[in-house]
């Protein structure tokens, strides 16, 4: 159980990567962490990180009923969930035309619907307590795009829209929402954890092959430090006015800024055409 000075975290996807780093950082800070894993063999390793404060739960976030059950069980047997870090998800790499639609559905099932179920499961408890902080792990790929990650970016853009709207809905209840937008961190995301499409259309070779090769070569050498990402989350947790969007990593800052600038340039260049679609001022619509 948590002490009066600690919080209870629920973190999905703690077996490796950023999820493991978030959990480790919270445990080292003295908090209680309920972490979800996909394989039974990962349970003991996680609980060994901090016996009595690290609680592992076997969970597939694409199983809605299991998600709601896990949240209720945590509330009843571990303690009120103060912080949710909805982290579970994965990357899918592939040129849009080459990628099977079944992979798009699977990508959204984990990255969007799994996250939505987890957030929806904790909300009644946080709302009734008028307190809580929800962190949704998005990506810099939810604010900008690169070729070859269309399905992944699509899932993260969907996450951005949902969570930004949610932040406005729950602010009156004292529930805070922060979307994390990491850049390239030194995890397995771009290595063994990523699903990659088979190549089939030569027209995309010139564009895509160098990108795929560069991403694979960079795996394990990324700029981002997962432990520092965890420290950033803990810093935001105690901020009087936490951000709705938190970009993590200097590469993400640079690439997101460039992506947003491109959108702003389109808005400026085509503003006159955009305005031309209104009814004339004073025009009355009659039925």
Q: Which of 262, 237, 265, 272 is nearest to 11 (CA)?
A: 237
Active site residues: 152
Q: How far apart are CA 157 and CA 142, in angstroms?
A: 4
In three-state secondary structure terms, 84 is: strand
Q: How far apart are CA 5 and CA 52, in angstroms?
A: 16
Burial class (CB in 10 A: 0-12, 13-18, 19+), 109: middle
Other CB atoms within a 10 A radius of the CB of residue 185 amount to 22
- DSSP state letters, 8-19: EEEES--SSHHH
Q: How far is CA 69 from CA 35, 66, 86, 188, in A?
A: 14, 5, 16, 29
Q: Which of 81, 80, 110 is nearest to 11 (CA)?
A: 81
What radius of gyration do the chain's Cα atoms show? 21
**Phi, psi for 277 (deg, rounded to 5):** -85, 0
In three-state secondary structure terms, 236 is: helix
**Phi, psi for 47 (deg, rounded to 5):** -65, -25
The residue count of the chain comes to 287
Task: Read off the DSSP letter of residue 224.
Answer: B
């Amino acid at each position: 159980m948590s002490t009066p000075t600690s919080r209870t975290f629920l973190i999905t996807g703690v077996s490796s990567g950023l999820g493991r780093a978030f959990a480790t950082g919270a445990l080292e800070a003295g908090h209680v962490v309920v972490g979800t894993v996909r394989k039974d063999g990962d349970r003991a390793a996680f609980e060994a990180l901090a016996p009595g404060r690290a609680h592992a739960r076997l969970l597939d976030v694409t199983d809605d009923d299991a998600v709601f059950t896990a949240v209720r069980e945590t509330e009843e047997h571990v303690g009120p969930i103060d912080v949710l870090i909805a982290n579970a998800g994965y990357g899918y790499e592939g040129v849009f035309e080459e990628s099977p639609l079944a992979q798009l559905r699977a990508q959204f099932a984990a990255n969007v619907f799994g996250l939505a179920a987890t957030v929806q499961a904790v909300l009644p408890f946080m709302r009734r307590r008028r307190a809580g902080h929800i962190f949704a792990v998005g990506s810099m790929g939810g604010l900008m795009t690169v070729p070859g990650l269309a399905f992944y970016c699509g899932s993260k853009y969907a996450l951005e829209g949902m969570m930004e709207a949610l932040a406005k809905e729950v602010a009156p209840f004292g529930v805070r929402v922060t979307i994390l937008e990491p850049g390239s961190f030194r995890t397995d995301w771009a290595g063994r954890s990523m699903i990659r499409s088979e190549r089939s259309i030569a027209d995309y070779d010139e564009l895509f092959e160098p990108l795929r090769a560069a991403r694979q070569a960079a795996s394990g050498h990324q700029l981002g430090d997962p432990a520092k990402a965890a420290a950033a989350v803990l810093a935001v947790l105690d901020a009087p006015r936490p951000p709705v969007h938190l970009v993590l990593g200097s590469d993400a800052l640079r690439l997101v800024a460039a992506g947003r600038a491109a959108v702003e340039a389109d808005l400026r260049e085509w503003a006159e055409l955009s305005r031309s679609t209104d009814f004339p001022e004073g025009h009355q619509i009659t039925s």
